[in-house]
Chain A
Amino acid sequence: MNVLWEQFPVFRDGFLLTFQLSFLSAIGALLVGTLVAVLRISPVPPLRWLGTSYVNLFRNIPLTAVFVFVVVGLPLLGSSADFLKIPGLDQIFTRLGIDLPYFRFSIIALSLYTAAFVCEALRSGINAVPSGQAEAARSIGLTFTQNLRFIVLPQAWRAAIVPLGSVIIAMIKNSAIAGFMGLYGDLSSRGQELVSAGVNGVTYPLIPVFIAISLGFLIMTVPLGLLLDRIEKNRMVKAR
């Protein structure tokens, strides 16, 4: 078990990077996902088609493929995702500002993929808003945008919190793939390094590393899951 102590900085740094990646991707996924959800329910057909095809595309292809498209495709489009070097933000999340773009590529891949599921979660939230609400809003003359902004979306967000939380949990776990697609130093790439390649020529036994890496993910996923359970239960009590 002493690999945990001996290599603690390795796990700590790995955890921090995975956390940063998850945090930023969650924001990205929520932004893009909301946009896609709005597109999907828009009155303008081409926008609706766009939203629907987006969801159908990303829901049905493997995340690894999305990673390849981003990692290989973006440089071909002449971009190294420099738009993510957001001033201020790159002071907190230092890997954002660094020239090596695989951190930014990973954020983009994870956000794009997860956005499809965020959209679906939001839609389920919108479905949960009683149709009388939207009808009442319309009858007092609110437009589509106003209706969405003031009546439907605020309620939908609340109804969608639990499914959204589950999507984010899944995304945190999916971030492990980044370590196999060029990102150096996250939990999964560190785990693989410790077990098979070794650090300074020393490899570590499998089980302790497995437990340490798992702990790194569980620290993020389990509390979030418990929180969601709590919200769901509270709601069920209220509904009764």
Chain B
Amino acid sequence: MLMKRLAAAAAIAVLGVGVAACGGTDPATPGPSTASFKAGSTMEKLNKAQKITIGTKFDQPGFGLKGLDGKPAGFDVEIGKLIAKELGIPADKIEWVETKSAVREEVIEKGTVDLVVATYTINDARKQRIAFAGPYYVAGQHIMVRSDDSSITGPDSFKEGTKKVCSVQGSTPATNIKKYLKDEATQLVLFGGYAECVDALKNKTVDAVTTDNVILLGFVASSNGAYKLAGNKFTDEPYGIGVKKDDTDFRNFINDLLEKIAKDGSYAKAWNDTAGKFDKNTPTAPAVNRY
């Protein structure tokens, strides 16, 4: 506590004497001053308030997982921090709000959060309600099974109607898998979190868990060989950053930033610190889509 206060006092003192050119890698360092933002824009508003509210997942290993200290950590969180930094807002001024899959559009529309970075797949239905910056990563839906099970080779294995699959309530993977099922009522289980699905897989209540590959890789890696991925990924899930539908300035601002961090290495660093623990192949940042 005392240390934190001293550090804060020191930071204020440093700022007070106007040492502006301190290290760019420190996320707590304020970025550009108010002057550089367009008058009346979201960026200016946020920068003036020196506060930003970001929605992310609290239960996605590698992307956004709330730790024992109550703060989320992961690739999405790092992207959020980079955006805040570009807005001149230090990392400790970010308020993190849990946005489960089912509520993401609503919290953006209502303005409960300023933006959402939450393994948020860009699609047309969602574009009707909100706007996406990005993509900043392309995930793909995959299927995880018990290692000794060779009967499931891909989503088509569910078409017979005997295999049971688990996913998370209100998520894109849950919606995607439905078209491969013969009967939703007898084949689909939806829980609040993936660990509950993995537990159901372990005790053979279900035969498979489906969601985006990185999350599954995390479970595979920490299971002592109990699980494996079946077949190939069968969708492309471009993750975007959700903002209000008409806020084109803010969207462009984030897109510019994404292009910048792809070049200056902070993208790769964010990956290696977080999701890189599950998936050692650092992805190349996809081209942003300025629709």
Bound-state CA distance A114–B278 (Å) is: 44
Q: Is the CB of A197 within 8 A of B175?
A: yes
Bound-state CA distance A100–B169 (Å) is: 17
Q: Is the CB of A184 within 8 A of B184?
A: yes
The number of residue pairs between A and B whose CB atoms lie closer than 8 Å in the complex comes to 65
Q: Is the CB of B170 within 8 A of A75?
A: no
CB closest residue in chain B, given A68: B196
Number of interface residues of B (CB under 8 A): 31
Bound-state CA distance A197–B102 (Å) is: 5
Q: Is the CB of B203 within 8 A of A98?
A: no
Known: A75-B205, A76-B203, A197-B175. A98 touches B125 (CB 8 A): no
Q: Which of B106, B175, B189, B192 contacts A100 (CB 8 A)?
A: B189
Q: Is the CB of A180 within 8 A of B192?
A: yes
Q: Which of B11-62 contact A (CB under 8 A)?
A: none
By Cβ-Cβ distance, the 7 closest A-B pairs, closest first, are A201-B125, A75-B203, A196-B102, A197-B170, A98-B186, A197-B102, A185-B185
Bound-state CA distance A185–B189 (Å) is: 10
Q: Which of B73-132 contact A (CB under 8 A)?
A: 101-103, 105-106, 123-125
Known: A192-B102, A198-B125, A202-B125. A99 touches B186 (CB 8 A): yes
Q: Which of A12-69 contact B (CB under 8 A)?
A: 13, 17
Additional pairs, 16, CB under 8 Å, beyond known A13-B185, A100-B164, A100-B187: A72-B199, A75-B200, A95-B186, A98-B185, A99-B162, A99-B164, A99-B186, A100-B189, A100-B205, A182-B189, A182-B190, A184-B185, A197-B171, A198-B175, A201-B124, A201-B175
Bound-state CA distance A182–B200 (Å) is: 10
- B189 to chain A: closest CB distance in Å? 5
Residues of A close to B270: CB separation below 8 A: none
Q: Which of A76, A182, A184, A201 contacts B123 (CB 8 A)?
A: A201
Q: Which of B164, B170, B192 contacts A196 (CB 8 A)?
A: B170
Q: Which of A97-124 contact B (CB under 8 A)?
A: 98-102
In this complex, the member of B184, B186, B192 whose beta carbon has the largest number of chain A beta carbons within 10 angstroms is B186
A interface footprint on B194-208 (CB within 8 Å = 1, 0 otherwise): 001001100111100
18 sampled A-B residue pairs with Cβ under 8 A: A95-B185, A100-B164, A100-B187, A100-B205, A102-B189, A102-B205, A181-B191, A182-B190, A184-B184, A184-B185, A184-B190, A185-B185, A192-B102, A196-B103, A196-B106, A197-B102, A197-B171, A202-B125
- A188 to chain B: closest CB distance in Å? 11
Known: A99-B186, A185-B184, A202-B125. A197 touches B101 (CB 8 A): yes
Q: Does A166 contact B (CB under 8 A)?
A: no
Q: Is the CB of B170 within 8 A of A184?
A: no
CB closest residue in chain B, given A78: B203
Q: Which of A160-211 contact B (CB under 8 A)?
A: 180-182, 184-185, 189, 192-193, 196-198, 201-203
- B162 to chain A: closest CB distance in Å? 8
In this complex, the member of A13, A80, A100 whose beta carbon has the largest number of chain B beta carbons within 10 angstroms is A100
CB closest residue in chain B, given A180: B192
CB closest residue in chain B, given A76: B203
Q: Is the CB of B125 within 8 A of A189?
A: no
Residues of B close to A76: CB separation below 8 A: 203
Residues of B close to A181: CB separation below 8 A: 191
Residues of A close to B196: CB separation below 8 A: 182
